[in-house]
Amino acid sequence: MSSTKSGSPQGITWQALEVRSPHIDKPVPVYAAKSIPYTQDAHRFQTINVYAPRASNSSISPGDPFKSLPLSSSSTTRLPRWLVHIHGGAWRDPFLDASSIEATVAHALESVDPDSSISAIVSINYTLSPFPTHSTLPYDPNNGDQLDVARNAQHPGHIRDVLDSFVLLRKLGLEDDSYILSGHSAGACLAFQTALFPREQWGLEPGELPPRPAAVLGLNGLYDLPDLVHNLGASHQHLADVYQNLLGQAFGQNQDAWPAASPARFNPESVAQRLDEGKLARVVLIDQSLEDQLVPVAQADKLERRLREVKGLQVIRGNRCTDRHAAPWEEGYMIWQTIKDVLQVLSDGVQEAR
């Protein structure tokens, strides 16, 4: 199974946009280039959004063609210049897409932050799986619904799309250590699938790897698929049937195949080799709200334990995520505070290396 040819930003222009956070009184003006296709003949979810500050000294003007990832004049080449984010939504929610990062964008770009090297934020869409029981927009191709290719993925379709997006992002300027990779919920699973495994893991032909991120972050993530059905613990056991249904749609009904797709079940020796070969970020952060009503803390605990088996990997347990499962992206500030925490860790590492 080969990767699709890369898309093009041709015809995409920068637009003036206002983004909002419930914790900021006024809308935050930014520039955005939205729905940039990353494959040929892309459907509506095979796209990325890019957000940049609307500063007085910006080189961007509304209507300018989008050609590359923007760089601010204050960005440093020794720290990540971009944030690349992968949204959640259980691989299936049609109303949760790349724009869900916008509350975080509001906090990140509200004002010039001297402690931040981030020049722009990228948010990745990917093909979703069917959602037969969605309350307002159900989709079930097995029950006579008209085929919607944007909502008809099964693993490895989601991760293939994410990898395809990085082919375009490399052409737009992304390079090793130039960005932080983050993901929430199912997006956290995709972020660690991207970071920990080779393309061959997903049945894809060997090809160019995504540029190595400076750090990988997972927030309220889903990391062990079998455990989401068979080892939820007393607090979340009532969700076992829900997880069995959604994972069956997203990863297939053969549960014997689920462990291979689970980031928390990676081979530490293989990942240590990827780290030695310079293919993996040396800093990873996992954060999990203790009040999360959908994901048990055991998911983060299991991935953290596994990651700590990899010599040379700096594993950080974050403490910014609180409240309900969706709070990090709905509130915005939790993701941005986590990014700032990681930037500080990376900055300290740069200082020590001098």
Active site residues: 185, 292, 325
Short-list 36, 39, 192, 191, CA closest to 120: 36
Residue with tokens 């750090």: 215
Residue 135's Cβ-count burial label (10 Å; 0-12, 13-18, 19+) is exposed
Other Cβ atoms less than 10 A from the Cβ of 203: the count is 11
Short-list 150, 206, 176, CA closest to 37: 150
Check: CB of residue 190 under 8 Å from CB of residue 218.
Answer: no
Transcribe 282-340 into DSSP letters: SEEEEE--TT-SSS-THHHHHHHHHHTTSTT-EEEE-----SSTTHHHHHSHHHHHHHH
Residue with tokens 């309350």: 135
- Joined tokens for residue 37: 């296709």
Q: What are phi and psi of 23, to 5 degrees?
A: -105, 5
Distance CA 330, CA 21 (A): 8
Residue 277, CA atoms < 13 Å, CB-side half-sphere: 10
Short-list 271, 261, 219, 223, CA closest to 83: 219
Q: What are phi and psi of 166, to 5 degrees?
A: -75, -25
Beta bridge partners of 16: 31
- Using alpha carbons only, give the angle 124, 95, 172 rounded to the nearest 5 degrees: 15
